[in-house]
Amino acid sequence: MATSNARGSLAPSPLAGEGWAERYDAHTAISDAPTSRRASHADLPRKGRAEQSLTAEIHLSSHTFVADRSGALYWPAERMLIVADLHLEKASSAARNGTFLPPYDTASTLASLGTVVARHAPRLVVALGDSFHDGDGPGRLDPSDRTALRELQRGREWIWMSGNHDPDPATDIGGTFAGLLCVGGIVLRHEPSPELGCSEIAGHLHPLARVATRARLVSRKCFVSDGRRMVMPAFGAFTGGLNIRNRAFAALFDSLQFTAHMLGAARLYAIAGARCLPD
Amino acid sequence: MPVYAGGKFPLSTYLAARVRDLLAQPNGWPALPEPVREWLGIQQWRSRIPRPDELLVETFPRASKYYLVCYPFEGRLAHQTLGMLLTRRLERARLRPLGFVASEYALAVWGLGDVALRVSRGELSLDDLFDQDMLGDDLEAWLAETALMKRTFRSNAVIAGLIERRHPGKEKSRRQVTVSTDLIYDVLRKHQPDHVLLRAARADAATGLLDIRRLGEMLSRIKGRIVHKALDHVSPLAVPVMLEIGRETVYGEAVDELLAETEAELVKEAMGGD
């Protein structure tokens, strides 16, 4: 697999030894990849085994993904786990500006990540950008957190994607770095792009859905998907959300033709975009 | 913004007893103003005037939710504690409580489950629901998980300057960091349970949210003396506490059920059903 690093040039793949180089498209082949069909009932979660569990199936461009209640996304065919917007060291970043939040967000986020990694046992973990709240975050990692991270990376591949908060590769956090990935005709990048050549999974926007239930309004982080493009919820412990009715999402999805997969306590809930309310 | 609710002193037991007596003696009613007499008269006709030594429990459906209103006359704090106790027990009984509101003389609890139906079928006992033995309910441990506790923590966090109040429309400056206090609360409980703000929230809860002693006394007083009136709409006596619902509500925990319902409606629409 050829990956593009943060500065935009093509770099040889460090994963080629596993035979992955033959299976993945190169960066330049993105525009040739087939576009997928429009949103339909297919992106509602399938009932059955998934119904009682912490996950739900989401389909994107003929591939099946498993959305986890924690906010992570698992791709069974590739044994890849994707998490977005970890915002590690957000509390210590705030402390530098005089706001002293309890500095346990990194430990908490890594613990949650550990749980979902144990649940799916992926071969590859992709952190979809804004993994650190700022570029100096890696340097501020607590030794225990650094050890926890190393434990998570043991026995598997790890790719840090560049985000707007952490655009440059860092040292001493393991893994490799990429600006953009293309796998099986699906582009993985931090910030979703309004022009869409092929299917895309992105983060950056921290989607949050607000829904009127029988009794009251409920707001929850969510996956947003229309079968072609998916925006992932923010995984970090101290991350909140931006309402999916916000203008930033309108530029990406055609007039509410999307499904919000809301993160409940017990499982995920698929709600049509048209049912979601603005702030 | 955090407000000093100075006017809300708890109803004293003497005053409560006096009010209960007043209500229960119809020959004392001519001394009351005419609208009050009329109101009590309708209450007597539609439901029942609570007697001093009993606990009246009314149930009725309204706006696709099921309500349980009881009249302990023990003051807001004890009623709030009772509300939490009932919510915990109703949850266990799978009656999916959604919220409750307490006033000085009444408590209203509502949810998705039909309490009256379960009682009429003999599946739920009001005596058990109002049992005085609260030890097994882990009330204080359970309280730590609730929305009410998070709200208390939030007030403390704002006062302490940990976070700023978010003003809609105001530009978020680069230096400002907005984090929801609910997220901070969850993380703090796991990693530093003796944090001063958590201690402050628990202290607030012990004095400002719970009055277990007074509740325990009341529950033992009315043991075996619960009168249930299954109504098909709201009673006059319930109206004042029902009006408080918009103003000050405590949310129960049946949120996942609500989301499941909304999701099921979507699937039905998508399949062409109506």
Instruction: Give the residue, A6 or B173, on which the prediction is more confident.
Output: B173
Straight-line distance from the first to the last Cα atom of chain B, in angstroms, rounded to the nearest whole number: 44
pLDDT surpasses 50 at A13? no
Structural domains of chain B, count? 1
* Cα A36 to Cα A17: distance, rounded to the nearest angstrom: 30
Is the pLDDT higher at A48 or at A87? A87
Distance CA A250, CA A246 (A): 7
Selection from B78, B79, B27, B71 nearest residue B51 by Cα: B71
Best residue of B177, B180, B194 to probe chain A, by most A CBs closer than 10 Å: B177
Q: Is the model's pLDDT at A189 over the cut of 50?
A: yes
Q: Which residue has the higher pLDDT, A89 or B96?
A: A89
Banded pLDDT at A244 (limits 50, 70, 90): very high
In a domain, B270, yes or no: no
CB-based contact (8 Å) between B262 and chain A? yes
Nearest CB neighbour to B270, from listed A44, A90, A238: A44
Q: Which residues pair with A271 in a beta bridge?
A: A260
How high is the pLDDT of residue B76? 84
| pLDDT at A32 exceeding the cut of 60 | no
Contacts of A220 in chain B (CB under 8 A): 259
Task: Provide the residue range defining the domain that includes B86.
Answer: 13-253
Least confident window among A21-30, A89-98, A224-233, B107-116? A21-30
Q: Is residue B107 part of a domain?
A: yes
Report pLDDT for B166. Answer: 61
Contact between chains at A104 and B99 (C-beta distance less than 8 A): no
> Which of chain A's residues have a Cβ under 8 Å away from the Cβ of B261?
213-214
Lowest mean pLDDT among A44-58, A117-131, A186-200, A256-270: A44-58
Answer with the residue of higher pLDDT: A134 or A254: A134
**Closest chain A residue to B198 measured between Cα atoms?**
A102
Q: pLDDT at residue A31 above 50? A: no
Region for residue B55 given its phi and psi (left: phi exceeds 0; alpha: psi -120 to 50; beta: otherwise):
beta
B88-133: pLDDT as tens digits: 899 889 898 888 888 888 999 999 899 999 999 999 999 999 998 8
Please tell me the distance in Å from A157's CA to the nearest CA on chain B.
28
Q: Identify the residue with better confidence: B215 or A162.
A: A162
- In A, minimum Cα distance to B160 occurs at A100
Q: Which two tokens stand for residue B49?
A: 């005037």
In the block, residue with structure tokens 């190393």? A150
pLDDT of residue B214: 81
Portion 196-255 of A in contact with B at CB < 8 A: 211-216, 218, 220, 237-240
Q: Give dist(CA B82, CA B216) in Å, integer.
A: 9
Task: Identify the three-state secondary structure at position A62.
Answer: coil
Whether the Cβ atoms of residue A116 and residue A72 lie closer than 8 Å to each other: yes
Better-scored residue on pLDDT, B64 or A119:
A119
* Residue B264 located in a structural domain: no
In a domain, B239, yes or no: yes
Mean pLDDT, chain A, as a whole number?
Answer: 82
Residue numbers in chain B where pLDDT is lower than 50? 7, 174, 274
Give CA separation, B78 vs B83, B103, B124, B226, B273, in Å.
9, 10, 23, 17, 47
Q: Which residues of chain A make contact with B191, given a CB cutoff of 8 A?
A: 102, 104, 107-108
Question: The tokens 């596993």 sit on which residue?
Answer: A18
Across the interface, of B180, B195, B262, the residue whose CB is closest to A211 is: B262
| Structure confidence at residue B53 (pLDDT) | 85
Contact at CB, A240 and B184, closer than 8 angstroms: no
**Residues B184 and B162 sit within 8 Å (Cβ to Cβ):** yes
For residue A221, is it left (φ>0), alpha (ψ between -120 and 50) or beta?
A: beta
Q: Say whether B258 and A215 touch across the interface (CB within 8 A).
A: yes
Residue B236 Cα distances to A261, B45, B47, B159, angstroms = 43, 10, 9, 40
What's the rounded Cα separation, in Å, for the pair B238 and B252?
20
> pLDDT at position B176, please?
57
What confidence score (pLDDT) does residue B249 get? 59
> With 90 as the cut, is the pLDDT of residue A190 above it?
yes
User: What pLDDT score was predicted for residue B107?
Assistant: 94
Q: Which of A65-74, A148-157, A162-171, B79-88 has the lowest mean pLDDT?
A: B79-88
Any domain includes B113: yes
A44: closest CA of chain B, how far (Å): 8
CB contact under 8 A, A97 and B177: yes
Q: Is residue B51 part of a domain?
A: yes
Tell me, what's the ipTM? 0.72
Amino acid occupying residue A169? P
Is B263 inside a domain boundary? no
Q: What is the pLDDT of residues A36-59, one digit of tens each?
A: 333 333 444 444 444 446 788 888
> A90 vs B179: CB contact, 8 Å cut-off?
yes
Q: Is the Cβ pair A216, B98 closer than 8 Å?
A: yes
Q: Where are the alpha helices (DSSP H) in B68-138?
A: 76-92, 115-120, 126-129
Query: Does a structural domain hold residue B60?
Result: yes
Q: B34 Cβ partners below 8 Å, 6+ apart?
A: none
